[in-house]
């Protein structure tokens, strides 16, 4: 006799459970919390999804609730409280829009809300966070420039970017750890990512490193920051950071968190992820999108040019990008000053050790960017 598990029976009675669990796997609690969501919101989002509330609807409701809390706090003069509620609201909108197509009106509405609430939080910070638009190929790379308070001289600055989806705001918690160490931070959506893609309609091209060199140009022209520039890439953004550091010697330190030498490894193992490539490149044909991503590889020639200080972090059981492909990047990089950190239980991008991860990265950039003499202004 074949046994039937209780949860399998429940799935038959509640057909939405399969979809809910898929979203929970993609956005587990460690990731939601590590990327800025309030714990009760994360738990309630998972619970509402299990009850049959569509993921995006549930997250938007939670975001609206936090936005209203922020407005009430601001009316009462509690600016710090309002700042926190706006960030929690932005995190809810950010997590909720994930499964929606770019053409979906709800996604665009939620994405505008996540930008607006993040910006509202930034206006309550000191100094205020600036929303920047960096001209590139007839459009713009959209970002947030965060500068630490009470600095006497322009501080070093770290460019921070994400992966296939690339929502720069989810790295705000990491940015805070740079700010408290006296470093500035530019959270940026590259081509094919976040605001740059959804509202700027700019997709990934054949040479994404060229786009981030424009970002370097922009920072070198900004007197608020120094010409000591680092880059921190997460997930596929780790590939982007390494590729940029290999191509642009003005990058003074490079951190690869949860990255790889060959991002196409993910959709090769899990074909359903090809939809992320299609969105990234703006290509309707899945086979063409796979071919475009297959060209996005850091080979031995490029890694021989990666000579700046390098920090690579990875989780041993990571199934998004395998640890051996991150190790291949680290081993072949020509950097003399390089550090490898591996967590035996680490999930993708080490979300389950967020505080430790951010401390390591913040301390590392503080040392590496402050020990070199500026040369590129």
Rounded Cα gap, residues 114 and 92, in angstroms: 8
Q: Which token pair is 158?
A: 């770290």
pLDDT of residue 269: 94
* Three-class secondary structure of residue 256 per DSSP: strand
**CA-wise closest residue to 228 among 309, 305, 128, 135:** 309
pLDDT of residue 377: 44
Q: Is the peptide bond before 98 cis (omega within 30 degrees of 0)?
A: no
pLDDT in tens, 109-165: 999 999 999 999 999 999 999 999 999 999 999 999 999 999 999 999 999 999 988
pLDDT of residue 374: 45
For residue 261, count other CB atoms closer than 10 A to its CB.
27
| The residue count for the chain | 377
Averages of pLDDT over runs of 10 residues in the chain (377 residues) are: 39 70 90 95 96 96 98 98 98 96 96 98 97 95 97 96 90 97 97 96 88 97 97 97 97 98 95 92 94 91 97 97 98 98 97 97 97 51
Which pTM does this prediction carry?
0.93
Distances (CA, A) of 376 to 159, 249, 310, 367: 16, 9, 19, 19
Rounded Cα gap, residues 335 and 341, in angstroms: 16
pLDDT in tens, 269-321: 999 999 999 999 999 999 999 999 998 899 999 999 999 999 999 999 999 99
Q: Could you give the dihedral angle defined by the CA atoms of residues 88, 92, 93 and 98, in that order, rounded to the nearest 10 degrees?
A: 140
pLDDT of residue 207: 83
pLDDT of residue 372: 56
Rounded Cα gap, residues 234 and 373, in angstroms: 27
């Amino acid at each position: 006799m074949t046994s039937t598990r209780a949860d399998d029976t429940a799935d038959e009675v509640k057909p939405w459970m399969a979809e809910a669990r898929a979203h929970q796997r993609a956005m587990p609690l460690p990731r939601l919390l590590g990327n800025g969501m309030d714990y009760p919101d994360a738990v309630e989002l998972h619970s509402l999804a299990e009850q049959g509330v569509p993921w995006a609807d549930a997250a938007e409701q939670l975001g609206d609730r936090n936005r209203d809390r922020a407005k009430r706090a601001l009316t009462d003069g509690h600016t710090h409280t309002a700042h926190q509620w706006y960030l929690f609201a932005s995190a809810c909108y950010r997590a909720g829009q994930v499964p929606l197509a770019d053409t979906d009106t709800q996604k665009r509405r939620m994405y505008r809300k996540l930008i607006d609430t993040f910006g509202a939080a930034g206006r309550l910070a000191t100094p205020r966070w600036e929303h920047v638009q960096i001209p590139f190929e007839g459009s713009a790379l959209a970002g947030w420039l965060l500068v630490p308070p009470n600095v006497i001289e322009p501080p070093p600055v770290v460019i921070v970017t994400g992966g296939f989806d690339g929502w720069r705001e989810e790295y705000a918690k990491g940015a805070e750890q740079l700010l408290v160490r006296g470093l500035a931070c530019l959270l940026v959506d590259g081509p094919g990512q976040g605001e740059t893609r959804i509202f700027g309609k700019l997709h990934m091209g054949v040479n994404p490193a060229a786009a981030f060199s424009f970002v370097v140009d922009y920072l070198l022209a900004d007197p608020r920051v120094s010409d000591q520039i680092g880059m921190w890439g997460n997930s596929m953004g780790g590939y982007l950071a390494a590729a940029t550091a290999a191509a642009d010697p003005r990058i003074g330190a490079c951190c690869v968190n949860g990255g790889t030498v060959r991002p196409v490894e993910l959709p090769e193992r899990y074909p359903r992820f090809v939809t992320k490539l299609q969105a990234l490149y703006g290509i309707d044909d899945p086979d063409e999108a796979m071919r475009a991503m297959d060209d996005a590889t850091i080979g031995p020639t490029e890694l021989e040019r990666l000579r700046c200080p390098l920090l690579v972090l990875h989780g041993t059981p990571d199934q998004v990008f395998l640890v051996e492909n991150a190790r291949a990047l680290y081993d072949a990089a020509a950097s003399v000053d390089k550090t490898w950190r591996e967590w035996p239980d680490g999930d993708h991008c080490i979300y389950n050790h967020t505080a430790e991860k951010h401390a390591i990265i913040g301390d590392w950039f503080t040392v590496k960017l402050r020990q070199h003499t500026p040369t590129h202004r």
